[in-house]
Amino acid sequence: MICDKQTFTELHHELPPIAQISGRGLQSVEPERFAKMSRREQLEQMLAADPEDVFLQYAVAMAYSSEGNEATCLRRLDTLIENSPDYVAAYFQSGQLLAGAERTDEAQSILQRGIAVAKRVGDQHAESEMLGFLETL
């Protein structure tokens, strides 16, 4: 449907706030406030609504990395691996961050674990990427 600016504005004002469910019950985030949040903050709001969403857990961790906060990213990836040990991407990203921080032994260890998981779950692409990266360390 194509609409003019006035119709769009009227429709926009009729939209309810973005709702989220957290452990404390239903909360709402106004669309204007949500739009002003950083990408990480937006992801954290979505994660608060669905704390078991493994992809959102991963996305929040990677958003910390994008902000230059590798320590928090690594902590979140560690937690993700602990709680969802089959989430293969977390191993590769963790290995890359550890290697970048010159923590080679830790990087090799996490990559070897990730390779074993990738093999077990049948993710040949991730297995191949981690093997290739491991060989460079």
For residues 86 and 7, the model is more confident at 86
Instruction: Report pLDDT for 37.
Output: 72
pLDDT over 50 at 123, yes or no: yes
The parent domain of residue 43 ranges over 38-136
Tell me if 32 is assigned to some domain: no
Tell me if 25 is assigned to some domain: no
Where does 9-123 show beta strands of DSSP type E?
18-22, 25-29
Tell me if 81 is assigned to some domain: yes
Are the C-beta atoms of residues 81 and 87 closer than 8 Å to each other? yes
Are the C-beta atoms of residues 121 and 88 closer than 8 Å to each other? yes
Q: Which helix (H) or strand (E) holds 18?
A: strand 18-22
Instruction: Report pLDDT for 17.
Output: 42
Tell me if 26 is assigned to some domain: no
| φ, ψ dihedrals at 104, nearest 5° | -60, -45
Tell me if 3 is assigned to some domain: no
pLDDT over 50 at 16, yes or no: no
Tell me if 9 is assigned to some domain: no
Q: Model confidence over 50-66: pLDDT tens digits?
A: 889 899 999 999 999 99
pLDDT (average), residues 25-37: 60
**Count of structural domains within the chain:** 1
Tell me if 15 is assigned to some domain: no
Reported as a pLDDT band with limits 50, 70 and 90, residue 12 is very low
* CATH number assigned to the domain comprising residue 122: 1.25.40.10
DSSP label of 15:
S
Distance of CA 38 to the CA centre of its chain: 14
Tell me if 54 is assigned to some domain: yes
Instruction: Report pLDDT for 28.
Output: 55
